[in-house]
Each structure stands twice: as C-alpha cells, then as structure tokens.
Amino acid sequence: MLKSRRMAWALAIMIAGVGMFGTAAKADDLKIGIVDVEKVYTNAPRVTQYTEELNKYRQELAQKLDVRSQNMMLDEAEIQELITLKTKTTRTAEEDARIKALEDIERTRDNEYKTLQATKDLDDQKKARLKELQDMNQKSKDTGNALAKDYDGQLQTKMQELNGKAEADVREAITKVVGQKGVQIVLAKEAVLYGGTDISDDVIKNLDRKIQ
C-alpha cells in the first residue's frame, strides 16, 4: 500500500469535507456517505497500480545497487555497462557473453587484489598495482554509498508523486459517487461509530486501472 495508516487517516479527515458545503438541506434530510479508506487503498485497481509502479521502481534501484556491490573491482565505465546490461528485460546472446566477460574481469582483479594484500615484501611494481586496485575498490565503495543516498531520495520523491496521484484520484472518485448517489456529506469510516451509507465499493469501481 502506498500510504501508511497515518497518511490514510489524514486523507480520511479531508474526505470528511467532501460535500459538506454548498447544500441547504436540513440535518434530518442529509444523506451521509461512508468511505473505508483502508479498503479503498487496498482494493482499488488504480491505487494498486500505483503501488506496483512504486515497487517496480524500488526494485530497479535496488538491482542497480546490488550489481554495483557485487562488482567492486570494476571501474565506473565498466560497472555502468554491466548495470545497463543486467537491468535489461531481454538480452541477446552477445550481451550475455559481455556480462560474463565483465564479471570475469572483476573476479580476476579481486583475486589479484587479495593476493597482493596477503603478500609480504612487495616490489615497487606490485606496490603500485596494489595501490591502483585499492583506489578502485575505495572509489567503488564511495560511489555506491553516494548513490544509495541519492536513490533513497529518488524513491521518496517517487513515493510522494504516486501518493499525490492516488489521493487526487480517490478524491475525484468520491466526488463522482457523491453526484451519483445524491450524498451531501462523506465521512471516513474510521470517524463514524454508527450510521451512514457505505459507498466504498462504488468508489473502488470508479478507480479502474489506467491504460499504460
């Protein structure tokens, strides 16, 4: 679900205002609609579509970080190439072969790095190579840590974007049902102890999936 219970409650409070104004009906004549916010966010196809989109986005970012974390001994150009190839939905045989080649390069460097670390009395050439591999490893770590923070920010931005769309769509659906059912006031189910007409299913019916 996109929203936490706290956020759903905030939406519930806003829903309470739908239809409360612009009516001159007497209190005894008011038709009150009830919306189960949790049910709508759990079952509405449109909202679950947004949830799927967010989950896919999260998985894509996680996959990029995972590829990077498992291939620390590639330079940035190589790791970018590997990430691009491994995150493709479909790949050619040539692309699979290139993935294997890059991974073999990484494993060879990693083994070399560990061997040099464990070797005493290195000559100048081997010391220089060890330093080169150390720098490559450290740069990979630093870049990965920076990207993890950046990806977290991207994920939060995406979540806010989709939450905004879901909230707007839910409110629009409620407004449509209000017109169809002749409801003057809509309250969230969480705020009602007794009475009212539950219009949750009608709201859900107005939240079909968007065509992509």
pLDDT per residue as tens digits for the range 98-154: 999 999 999 999 999 999 999 999 999 999 999 999 999 999 999 999 999 999 999
pLDDT category of residue 4 using cuts at 50, 70 and 90: low
Asked if residue 184 has pLDDT above 90, the reply is: no
Domain limits, the chain: 5-205
| End-to-end C-alpha distance for the chain, whole angstroms | 20
Residues 5-30 pLDDT 10s? 444 544 554 555 554 444 444 555 67
